[in-house]
A and B are shown apart, each in its own frame.
Chain A
């Protein structure tokens, strides 16, 4: 009785609305894309609910359902090639990232290598740069007219050092821009593995390097495997790099899916690719959780002691040189984009022939709309995700709602391009025709970024003691009033930090923007993409610089907010 009553108070209604939101914009689209992969035609889910005729049509569609699409995947068609190539790419990238990160992580965690602080700080830079900008930077560095190619030829090489428009090109961009995702978990793994075990090994007469190979390294393996899976997932879902760099004869699943829907309106083909993408991402996510659950060496033996950092110059100097080289490449790439943005013309020379701010002026006169669009869309997504995340974290923390907890993990797993395709298909026709509107774009952005927001708000929510809320209720407030007057204000710092993160990632967002943004709402990322596609490199460069600067400033602000919160 009491429970029933509680459900029908304001807060119960809010919970119902949130469930409705997830059902409408997350669950139904994902289920629908799965169905379309059998029927080959979009199913009008909402139409079937309101009209009997439409229902009949949908039923007929199901009668004609086939598993041809699934067959085609495995009958060595282009889809199959796409899947295999994507898996190969992700595997290569994650292995190389591991190889690159092991020395850097060891250097940061265990040694006093020179410039450690600077290197650590620079390692965060690749994370703020959207991949399609990095990909495009590689074109202007390594392309036919790039300065790297110039130097390479001067040194006696022929043609290009490496072709950016190739699998290798894509892999290299991803390796150098995704490695920070793996670096920090690995630093943590090296820090946590028990030093006393190493000391024991050394005590038994083992040399430094032997200790590393026999003790330190094996202890860090579970941590490394799970980070490798993170990189695998990131690389597999990445759309920005392949869409810029993949040559037309290279099939990659994300690009294929995009082409099927944006180029040929092949619903069935896009759907089957989407289903495959989600399946792969799901398996990787499951594996990663499984790994973390299974073998946890971290708790092997008590509290880690204070780590003695190695000062061996023969070790630290090569480590520092190597780390410096790795972080140098993303920085050079960004520097190149910046130089291009202020160049009058930049042919096949090491430096531009002259400098100008003309490109920025062009941006601020003709493309101001894109910047505006980005800001408005990001603000919309921010508001929506703030509201949803605040309530979701309340339900997750206070009412232990596992369903909602799960719902906010789903967008983390589903690749952006897959989610975009699912939404486009579901909301393609009346009565709920939303495809091509700014509204569905904002919804897509916010659902995709909701996990970040929820993580931030759940954290602050957990820090608010339950009795604070009970005190408000005891003083006569309803749960909703308590949420507005007490919980809300107390969550503000967490909400602020989370919302900047959402804002930043929405501005950076590539796949959803390119796939779903209508022309009149084109955000910066879409504008840059189109400029690159049209080979208008100078304005693309200027816009990229503006985007990266915005991201950097906001990120710094977020760090300050969440840092100030802790102290």
Chain B
């Protein structure tokens, strides 16, 4: 297991820069997510680490070792591909044993080499040695696939194929485990189960893991730390809570969870409170800023619905409900305030009534929950 350090990574594809200024410091045993919309460069970053792309400039160290001169097959990074990339002509056991065969191939003499090659082409002709057999069966047991060892991968369900891919990467005891959108081909329910499985295995084995995803929920629920990427650059690195409560840009605020992002002008700054004018409304925040044109960010769940007759606090405003969506434990209101459209989440307890479309609503938010960027 090792740490992964990336410094000033840059990648050009025929003159077009697709990655720049990528700095990552991933600690041993950490579960690290690269999060961003498609085309942001997250997969390219991972492929640079795996060695499938060679960086235009910058260094990559795996376990304190510069890997620039190492071919992809010498890097010992287990990779789980988006499509799983299981070998369709081999059964589950042979798939998982592949890297162990390769290891044997490396130290074998010519005669033994032919034996190993034959086994890789047809494992019925040349049998596996005991150690390999045990290692493979152990890892298959771990991912609960012991009964499927002799099946062809095409006979397995999506979730099972995913676990074969995981087992195949884990059995080589990689320095770092790379996962490229591993859950995107699974249905919603299976995705939740697999999240837990992957997290459990990662923590059990304490294996450094880099996980590429475009799904913020997936990243938030699984990763220790997340790097948010956009247009080939890293915008922010932090823990999930960090990113959620202190997004550095409005893009992150919007991408990580839902946010109300409103443009405004700073009109006053006193007593540790910044006052911003948004439309006809004034909103106060504890965030300090030196800028004049700013963006005000408020999470939907931080907006409170005030009952009629509550005294006007400083951060209270009125709006008209456009649309109400019942989501089980919460109700989401789309509210029109002045010329702006905002989203408000309220907890729903049985017995509560849902407000009608078109009715007026009084809202408030505490200055601690208002973020200014």
Contacts and interface: CB of A to CB of B under 8 A. Distances in A.
Interface of A: 1-2, 5-6, 465, 467-468, 470-478, 481, 484-486, 489-490
B189 interface: no
Interface string B220-237: 000000000000000000
Interface residues of B, number: 33
B130 to A, nearest CB: 21
A360 B82 CA distance: 61
Contacts of A474: 50, 52, 72-73, 77-79, 169
Contact of A471 (B54, B69, B79, B120): B79
Contacts of A477: 73, 98, 102
Contacts of B303: none
Contacts of B50: 474
B69 A475 contact: no
Interface in B31-76: 50, 52, 54, 68-69, 71-74, 76
Contact of B54 (A2, A484, A485): A2
B85 A489 contact: no
B83 A486 contact: no
Contacts of A473: 52, 71-73
A468 B89 CA distance: 11
Contacts of A472: 87, 98
B88 interface: yes
B115 to A, nearest CB: 13
Contact of B168 (A467, A475, A481): A475
A465 B85 contact: yes
The dominant DSSP class at the A interface is helix
14 contacts: A2-B69, A467-B81, A468-B88, A470-B72, A470-B85, A473-B71, A474-B77, A475-B73, A476-B76, A476-B99, A477-B73, A478-B73, A485-B120, A490-B87
Contacts of B320: none
B73 A476 contact: yes
Contact of A468 (B71, B77, B87, B117): B87
A471 B169 CA distance: 9
B71 A5 contact: yes
A470 B52 contact: yes
A562 to B, nearest CB: 18
Given A2-B54, A489-B121, A471 B73 contact: no
Given A470-B52, A481-B102, A484-B117, A1 B89 contact: no
Contacts of A467: 81-83, 85
Given A475-B168, A481-B105, 9 more contacts: A5-B71, A467-B83, A470-B52, A474-B78, A474-B169, A475-B99, A475-B102, A481-B102, A485-B117
Contacts of B124: none
Contact of B85 (A468, A476, A481, A484): A468
Contacts, number: 78
Given A5-B71, A476-B103, A481-B102, A471 B89 contact: no
Nearest to B105: A481
Give the one of A471, A472, A489 with max B CB within 10 A: A471
Given A1-B69, A481-B102, A481-B105, A471 B121 contact: no
B163 to A, nearest CB: 15
Interface of B: 50, 52, 54, 68-69, 71-74, 76-79, 81-83, 85-89, 98-99, 102-103, 105-106, 117, 120-121, 168-169, 172
Contacts of B121: 484-485, 489
Nearest to A3: B54
B102 A471 contact: no
Nearest to A5: B71
Nearest to B89: A489
B95 to A, nearest CB: 9
A237 to B, nearest CB: 39
Contacts of B88: 468, 490
Contacts of A481: 102, 105
A171 B99 CA distance: 62
A282 B72 CA distance: 43
Please provide the 8 A-B residue pairs with the shortest distance between their CB atoms, ordered closest to farther: A471-B85, A475-B99, A476-B102, A467-B85, A485-B120, A474-B79, A467-B81, A489-B89
Nearest to B78: A474
A470 B73 CA distance: 9
A486 B71 CA distance: 19
Contact of A490 (B76, B78, B89, B106): B89
B72 A471 contact: no
Contacts of A476: 73-74, 76, 99, 102-103, 106, 172
B59 to A, nearest CB: 14
A485 B121 CA distance: 6
B81 A470 contact: yes
Contacts of B76: 476
Contacts of A468: 85, 87-88
A406 B106 CA distance: 37
Given A475-B99, A489-B121, A6 B71 contact: yes
A465 B117 contact: no
A529 B168 CA distance: 59
A246 B207 CA distance: 78
A508 B85 CA distance: 41
A483 to B, nearest CB: 12
A485 to B, nearest CB: 4
